[in-house]
Amino acid sequence: MKKSVVLAPLDPVHDIGLKMIARGLTQAGHEIFLLPPDLTSDEIIETIFSKEKVDVLLLSRTLGYGVGEILARFIDVSDAAGLRNNTKIGIGGMAIRPELAAELGFDAGFGPGTTIEEVICFVEGREYHPDPFRSKKEKIDMTASYDYQYRHTGIGEKLAKISDMILDWVKDKTSPGVKRAKLRDELWDVDRWRRREGNGELYNQYPEMCSEVPQKYYTTGELHPKTRRFTVEEVRGLEHYLEETKRRMSVLKLQHTRKKPLVFNQYGTGCPFMDVGHILASEAWGADGVVHFDPSWGARTEGFLDGFLTHQEDGTVITPANLNRIHGALEKSTLWQVRAHRGLNTPETVVLAGKIGADLTKINICYGSLGAGTDPERMTIDGYHSILFAKKYNMPFDVVTNEELAGVPAHKAFAGMLIVSDLAVRLGARPILQPLFAYSPEVMIHEYMEDNYIDFNAAKIYALRQIINAPIWPGAPIGFLTHTEDRVQSATTTALHACLAMSLEVDAISIASTDEAYSGGPISVPAKIDTLRAVQDSLRFFGQASIKPTPQADKYAEQITERIEKVLEQVIKTGDFVSAIHNGVLGSREEGAYPGRIGKDTVTTI
């Protein structure tokens, strides 16, 4: 129904917001009277009474000084004049907060960030629901449009030879990790477990395949010293909290007019309940996906614990119950990655995550061997089976290159990433390349970023695209080693790296919180929101515009590509992939890469 609306600025000059709202209301079919600035309260009220009927008065106030007194006086005068008998009064503007408006007796208060639609709803007496086009999100398969064809035939041919070597090496080998994964795959029925009908026959054999901590748990009920079970009261609290929060939950989109990149952040406070709180906040502020981080001791342990457990330190313990609760709390549109890349539970993590419903996982044999402490033989056989399980459970996975942070040059880390990716494609899986956007030791030593942080990071993407048509997801997080403890600096560097990623049209990014460089305690929720907000505004700033690297990026890309090919030649020359890792071909001790020892001598011949 058509409404009669008077709009009046309570400022000497500012009325831009009211003009925009007047236009919106006119387009919506309402009758509009826009008064000039600098009228007194009495003049505004007189104007209203001079008209036959005014349904709504919309006031605005931009200047902050004296706002409380001015608005209170206006309400007093309008009450005395009987204005409010027939007219609703709303107030908006930069100086307005909804709580102030309510306190003073206005019918509505519209602060900064109010949409025109919101005001129209107030005028029409309708409940406001945020624009579904801004908040509607769907899960996206970032691998869907890639065929993994090699554009660089020389590198493609070399990778094929190396995959042959690996396939030949793994064919008669197994490990405790592979055996546990196969057991979980065959005997654990997630639907039955969700119906509280137990674990079937899994735990008849499982405990004896585990190392000390899980074995103790299954035989005596003893937990890891830093963990405890949740109480019944806590569980009921979580369920009610989720029920209430989900009812009012909405999610932002960070991307403006582009579709890419998807934005991920990580969680892993130690406590799955705190994680749920962090995840809900991340989703609400626009994260497209979240990444599960488990404790570092999880990578050195054979087997998983069970139960609903909270952990006092970094990393949330992987148990079926913990993963299931987290999965149940996620928004339907949220991509969920459970990383499996680096330890003795790698293949079983993929199986468990796959059964519970993860969308993505993370596997890299080279990083797991050289940067994460796992024995190269063990990591190779476990990695191979992890890839097979990732395929079975329909989970694309990123191949992370974090060994760069130890000092391994990008071209060596990339050679390792491409080896694992080629193997994965050969096995029918869908790998995602994960180069770092980082101020890495290699970059510092060679001064590749002396002028800017753009060219060398861009060169990585150029190089990978010259080699293969595959999805790319820089991480993790982007801007590694450029963050400081300064919140503003940290959010800025994340946002700028996000804009570089956007300009390069990569498929996804993982971002840090502004607590990235702070090591004194757990990451806080506001620190996560800081970077999500910074990224959203930066993507809005650029729209379809871009960051343009200098010609130096092409030179770096050429250099990286040439060096990758040479590394692959050396791997072939070594004759054996595992030996190549031990010999430093994919990252040497001098470069900070040490072949891991966890799980040494546990690989057996079938």
Provide DSSP, 202-269. Answer: HHHHSGGGS-HHHHHHHHH-PPPTTEEEPPHHHHHHHHHHHHHHHHT-------SSS---EEEEEE--
Stretch that binds other proteins, among 23-31, 202-210, 227-235, 418-426 (CB under 8 A): 227-235
Our finding on whether 241 is near other proteins (CB under 8 A) is: yes
Best CA proximity match to 591, nearest among 412, 366, 415: 412
Does residue 311 touch other proteins according to CB under 8 A? yes
Among 67-75, 276-284, 365-373, 562-570, which window interacts with other proteins (CB under 8 A)?
A: 276-284
Specify the residue, 186 or 244, whose C-beta has the smaller distance to other proteins.
Answer: 244
Smallest distance from other proteins to CB 524, Å: 4
Which secondary structure element, helix H or strand E, spans residue 421, and what is its range? helix 410-426
By CB under 8 A, is residue 313 in contact with other proteins? yes
DSSP type of residue 598: B
Give DSSP secondary structure letters for 493-556: HHHHHHHHHHHTT-SEEEE--TTTT--SSPPPHHHHHHHHHHHHHHHHHHTT------THHHHH
Task: Lay out the site mask for other proteins across 465-494 (x = CB under 8 A, - = otherwise).
Answer: -------------------xxxx-------
Nearer to other proteins, 35 or 238 (CB): 238
Residue 285 lies near other proteins (rule: CB under 8 A): no
Distance between terminal CA atoms of the chain?
A: 79
Residue 270 binding other proteins, by CB under 8 A:
yes
State yes or no: residue 139 binds other proteins (CB under 8 A).
no
* Ramachandran quadrant class, 387 (left: phi over 0; alpha: psi -120 to 50; beta: rest): alpha
Across 148-187, the runs of DSSP E, i.e. the strands, are 173-174
> Is 148 a binder of other proteins (CB under 8 A)?
no
- Phi, psi (rounded to 5 degrees) for 230: -75, 150
From CA 34, how far away is CA 49, in angstroms rounded?
15
Q: Pick between residue 87 and residue 513 the one whose CB is nearest to other proteins.
A: 513
| Residue 222 binds to other proteins (criterion: CB under 8 A) | no
Classify residue 132 as exposed, middle or buried by CB count within 10 Å of its CB (0-12, 13-18, 19+): exposed
3-state SS assignment for residue 311: strand
Of 23, 151, 194, 240, which one interacts with other proteins (CB under 8 A)?
A: 240
* Helical (H) or strand (E) element with 297: helix 296-299
Check binding of 233 to other proteins (CB under 8 A): yes
Contact pick of 265, 269, 337, 493 for other proteins (by CB under 8 A):
269
> By C-alpha distance, which of 113, 91, 114, 94 is closest to 104?
91
The beta-strand segments (E) located in 356-428 are: 360-362, 397-400
How far apart, in whole angstroms, are the C-alpha atoms of residue 326 and residue 291? 11
Given candidates 252, 281, 449, 547, which one binds other proteins under the rule CB under 8 A?
A: 281
Shorter beta-carbon distance to other proteins: residue 77 or 274: 274
Dihedral, CA atoms, 455, 460, 466, 468, nearest 10 degrees? Answer: -160
Beta strands in 13-158 (DSSP E): 31-34, 56-60, 88-92, 108-110
Q: Figure out which of the listed residues 70, 274, 481, 547 binds other proteins, where binding follows CB under 8 A.
A: 274
- The residue range among 187-195, 310-318, 370-378, 580-588 that interacts with other proteins, by the rule CB under 8 A, is 310-318
**Residues in 39-78 at the binding interface with other proteins, rule: CB under 8 A:** none
By CB under 8 A, is residue 310 in contact with other proteins? yes
Burial class from Cβ neighbours inside 10 Å (0-12, 13-18, 19+) for residue 124 reads: middle
Selected from 17, 109, 176, 277, the binder of other proteins by CB under 8 A is: 277
Binding to other proteins by residue 223, rule CB under 8 A? no
Interface with other proteins (CB under 8 A), residue from 2, 228, 446, 600? 228
**Binding of other proteins at residue 236 (CB under 8 A)?**
yes
Separation between Cα atoms, residue 250 and residue 221, nearest integer Å: 41
Size of the site for other proteins (CB under 8 A): 37
CB 239, min distance to other proteins, A: 8
Of the candidate residues 183, 271, 472, 508, the single one contacting other proteins (CB under 8 A): 271
Neighbours of 592 (CB within 10 A): 17
Nearer to other proteins, 26 or 484 (CB): 484
Q: With binding defined as CB under 8 A, does residue 224 bind other proteins?
A: no
126 binds other proteins (CB under 8 A): no
User: Could you give the angle at the alpha carbon of 95 between the alpha carbons of 94 and 97, nearest 5°?
Assistant: 95
Q: State which residue, 51 or 240, has the beta carbon closest to other proteins.
A: 240
Report the residue number, 82 or 237, with the smaller CB distance to other proteins. Answer: 237
How far apart are alpha carbons 230 and 212 in whole angstroms?
A: 23
Token code pair at residue 2: 């058509």
CB of 486 to other proteins, least distance (A): 5
Position 172 contacts other proteins (CB under 8 A): no
Give residues 510-569 in contact with other proteins (rule: CB under 8 A). Answer: 515, 518, 520-522, 524-526
* Distance separating alpha carbons of residues 582 and 585, to the nearest angstrom: 8
For other proteins, the closer CB: 190 or 525? 525
**Residues 364-403 contacting other proteins, CB under 8 A:** none
Please report whether residue 128 would count as binding other proteins according to CB under 8 A.
no
Closest approach of Cβ 270 to other proteins, in Å?
Answer: 4
Least distance from C-beta 316 to other proteins, angstroms? 8
| Minimum CB distance to other proteins, residue 98 (Å) | 19
Minimal distance, residue 275 CB to other proteins, in Å: 9
Q: What is the DSSP letter of 374?
A: B
| Binding interface with other proteins (CB under 8 A) | 226-228, 231, 233-234, 236-241, 244, 269-271, 273-274, 277-278, 281, 310-313, 484-487, 515, 518, 520-522, 524-526
